[in-house]
Structure 1
Amino acid sequence: MARPPGTLLLLLLRLLLRLAAAGRPCGPARLSRDTVLGRLGANITLTCQDEVPANATVLWRVEEQGAAGGWGRQLAEGNTLLLRRLRYEDSGHYSCSVGSHLLRSLRLLVAEPPETPQVFCYRRSHDKDVLCEWPQQEKPSPGTRAVLWVKRRFTAENATEQRCRYFSKARKFVCRVKVPPGTDDTRHLVVSTCVSNSAGGSAGKDKIITLSSVLKPDPPVNVTVEALEKAPQRLQVHWSYPPSWDPRFYWLRFQVRYRPEPAPTFVEVDQVTTTWLDIRDAWRGTRHVVQVRAKDEFGHGAWSEWSQEALGTPWTGLTCPIVPLHLLQVPMEDGTYGVTLLPRLFREDDTDGAGGSVMESNTHPVASPYAFLVTGASLLLGIALFVGIVVRYRQTWWTSEQETTKPEGEGQHMLVPLRLPLPTLSETPLLSHPAPSTPGVLHMTQADFSSSGQ
């Protein structure tokens, strides 16, 4: 039965991949004849010679690193040497001798076969190299070597070899793959890994990647949560682009999640293109946990890790109107007086629709100390204004009283004739003397009228 052309093509591709991998052996390093391999934590017995003279005393020594000359530190006597619970520090050169005659020298290597690598590749931004890494459950044995190969898929070109480093704090191997400028982000690459030491070698599965598919930004930084004044259900979240991403050429889109601390699950907001978000359904008076993560604006690659948690609590300020205390007092059933507090001083869920709450008179009123300061200052200012008005009007009244008690004719300006009046016809005047006039008003007598020539 003939196979379909697609199946033959697939078999041919697999054969090419196997041939490419065959040129990259991944096995233990070859050990010399005088090298003995010991497993970590196991016991091992070193033998000097098969036959030793009966009267000869065999002495074992170990060469210490940094020791200049000599036979090293003496261990024990006998044709065999037993070492228990091997450690990495037990690796070294051991020798046995009779007197000054060297019989044998051995090299002991304490190592564990390497773990099979589970490779994960990512790229922090469009202008960064590709990083491939994998974690280690245990610390690798000294002398462990990790290598990564990269080649284009469906080509017979030689693979590029990259050495990998082990980071003890992070407990992982990291390999850096150089990306030539102008490389197509959609071109498929084949990544192969191998970890080997003297105890064995282990190869990871080949991984097929593209530069766009491994794009994974770093999480956003500088995440802050701020409360908005007079908005008990709102929070405003701000954050910044990670330093490894340049927003001048490529943008990111973000996802924000938040939850009040008593709640076990998060509320997520997707498709955020700005570096801030206004939360409008926060719980009143409750602290919230907020995190942000990022992804390429076109959806390539994977989401970044969540940012560090940021905490924030909505605005919880209270506004207390200044009301005289005697207007709030109401009689109680037992004959005492209580105080009725306005509903504004309480949350909506604390009232039962009665229009207010009554509390006993020995309860401290809920009021800000600034309200008392403003009340006291207003009272002092009012008293000062009242005293000033009283003093001013008292001075005015005193001046008016003095003016009304002046002697008759004081302050009056009488008209003086320009010439002496003519002799009167009789001693009895035709008209009586004019009454004292008000200052500033002109009065004319009969004589004045006669002297004027009319």
Structure 2
Amino acid sequence: MFCCPEPLIFLLLAAAAAPRRPCGPLGLSQDTVLGRLGANLTLRCWDEGPGNVTVSWQAEERGRSQRLPTGNALPLHRLRHEDAGTYTCFVGSRRLRSLRLLVQEPPETPRVSCYRRSHDHDVLCEWPLRAKPSPGTRAMLWVKQRFTAENATEQRCRFFSKAQKFVCRVKVPRGADDTKPLLVSTCVSNGAGGAAGEDKIITLNGVCPTPPLNVTVTALEKAPQRLRVNWSYPSSWDHRFYWLRFQVRYRPEPARTFSEVDQVTTTWLDIHDAWRGLRHVVQVRAQEEFGHGAWSEWSREAVGTPWTDPRDLTSEMGFFSSQFPMEDGIYGLTLPPELFAEDGADGTGGPIMEASARSTASPYPFVVAGGSLLLGIALCIARGGGGQRARAPLGSSSPPLSDTPLLSPPCSPAPGGLHVTSLDYFFSGQ
């Protein structure tokens, strides 16, 4: 992956603008055999020879030798890179022939991007690869000033396996004119073929810095919608002579859209429209102060949350603690303080129950209950006239007159209401 989203300033040249250097396969010696990865190949000790002679083979690869099956022809199936090496055939102890086997694929066409970390650094040209190159692959780069007859400077490029890319360094002489364009050509080759990259024109005054370092996000006291972002110059940039300008982007989590602030010339920024109580993700990138070159990659993400008033947290906790679940699943019910008052002096429960009864109970059950009460009194008087039985107290433990209510409510009772539907209530002593 390139270090910059945009390469150093360059132009694609037309094919006729400058003669291309030849970029073909590397020359192979007479005793070198080329095999393609995954293909089948047969090595032969000699083309013509006595058929009654036993031929043995030995493979040497990276200082190790291995005995192979005998025969004038040695078949190799589904070649791998590990099969490359030197194969020698023998008759008895006499060596007859040695063959060098290369297992290679034609190289990928380089797509070069050039950049300069700062004005006092060399230019780096690089290109990524989809797959690891075959052993023995060579990458070259040529640089010369455009519109001049001077010879090009040739240099070898290195492959970095961890980054999976070739990198070439273009030396910039001291006092070189940054405005003069340079012509860059590349070629990658091995025994299986060669591939040339497109010629490019680069200028030395276009730079691509590395991302800013040490990005931090802190809250500002008593500012619930502000955040302070700080960062430092990249270590590859000497800010004593050249400056950078910066761009800051930020977003609250979990939003995916960033807000951006451009043309920042300091190494800090105050965000004034942060979201209260939400964590924010912040990144910073850099560019040469006059806009020569490309933006760096974005820095690593830094996070921070705006300041929150502790009183707000206390009030919020108090609000939620006053909410509790009810049996019907409703939250946030506020009970009137009268329900928590003590009973009245007369032991009747005070005006709370009376108000509840008056507001919810229908007068119809009282009429029925009163008539039933009068009927019961009349029966007691009639029985008491004989004088043969002692009167039982009204609150005795005798069984109730009825085990079922005389009247059933037309619907389920309202919560908290007083319902009188049976004479048991009056004769139970409760």
Fold conserved (TM > 0.5)? Answer: yes
CA distance in structure 2 between the aligned counterparts of 1:224 and 1:218, rounded to whole angstroms: 17
Letter in 2 for 1:158: N
Does residue 273 in structure 1 map to residue 270 in structure 2? no
Identity %: 71
**Match of residue 346 from structure 2:** none
**Match of residue 17 from structure 1:** 18
Residue 15 of structure 1 and its aligned partner are, at CA, apart by: 5.6
CA distance in structure 1 between the aligned counterparts of 2:215 and 2:91, rounded to whole angstroms: 72
Q: 2:70 aligns with which of 62, 77, 85?
A: 77
Residue 334 of structure 1 and its aligned partner are, at CA, apart by: 6.8
Does the 8 Å CA contact 2:211/2:286 hold for their aligned counterparts? yes
Q: 2:131 aligns with which of 138, 141, 147?
A: 138
Does residue 28 in structure 1 map to residue 29 in structure 2? no
Letter in 2 for 1:34: D
**Match of residue 93 from structure 2:** 100
Q: How does 1:302-381 map to 2 (within 5 A)?
A: 302-319=294-311, 332-333=335-336, 335-336=338-339
Does residue 204 in structure 1 map to residue 204 in structure 2? no
CA distance in structure 2 between the aligned counterparts of 1:33 and 1:54, rounded to whole angstroms: 25
**Match of residue 252 from structure 1:** 244
SS in 1 for 2:157: strand
Q: Which has the higher contact order (CA 8 A, sep 6+)?
A: 2
Letter in 1 for 2:307: W
CA distance in structure 2 between the aligned counterparts of 1:43 and 1:119, rounded to whole angstroms: 34
Q: Structure 2 unaligned runs (5+)?
A: 1-13, 323-333, 342-430
Letter in 2 for 1:156: A
Paired residues in the alignment total 311
Residue 249 of structure 1 and its aligned partner are, at CA, apart by: 0.9
CA distance in structure 2 between the aligned counterparts of 1:281 and 1:16, rounded to whole angstroms: 53
Letter in 1 for 2:284: V
SS in 2 for 1:253: strand
Q: 1:38 aligns with which of 18, 31, 35?
A: 35
Q: How does 1:374-393 map to 2 (within 5 A)?
A: none
Does residue 301 in structure 1 map to residue 298 in structure 2? no
**Match of residue 344 from structure 2:** none
Letter in 1 for 2:46: Q
1:92–1:223 distance in 2 versus 1, CA, 3 Å: same
Q: Deviations over 1:376-411 (max 9, x none)?
A: xxxxxxxxxxxxxxxxxxxxxxxxxxxxxxxxxxxx
1:184–1:64 distance in 2 versus 1, CA, 3 Å: closer
Following TM superposition, the consecutive aligned residue runs of length 4 or more in structure 1 with deviations greater than 4 angstroms are 13-16
Q: Deviations over 1:307-331 (max 9, x none)?
A: 0000111112322799xx9xxx9x9
Return the TM-score normalized by structure 2: 0.69
Residue 145 of structure 1 and its aligned partner are, at CA, apart by: 1.2
CA distance in structure 2 between the aligned counterparts of 1:293 and 1:332, rounded to whole angstroms: 57
Residue 120 of structure 1 and its aligned partner are, at CA, apart by: 0.3
Q: What root-mean-square deviation, in Å, do the aligned CA atoms of Structure 1 and Structure 2 show?
A: 2.3
**Match of residue 129 from structure 1:** 122
**Match of residue 109 from structure 1:** 102
Does residue 49 in structure 1 map to residue 23 in structure 2? no
CA distance in structure 2 between the aligned counterparts of 1:84 and 1:221, rounded to whole angstroms: 52
1:304–1:337 distance in 2 versus 1, CA, 3 Å: farther
SS in 2 for 1:278: strand
**Match of residue 220 from structure 2:** 228
CA distance in structure 2 between the aligned counterparts of 1:208 and 1:260, rounded to whole angstroms: 42
**Match of residue 118 from structure 1:** 111
1:64–1:196 distance in 2 versus 1, CA, 3 Å: closer
Does residue 179 in structure 1 map to residue 172 in structure 2? yes
Letter in 2 for 1:235: L
Residue 210 of structure 1 and its aligned partner are, at CA, apart by: 0.7
Q: Structure 1 unaligned runs (5+)?
A: 1-12, 339-454
Return the TM-score normalized by structure 1: 0.65
**Match of residue 82 from structure 2:** 89
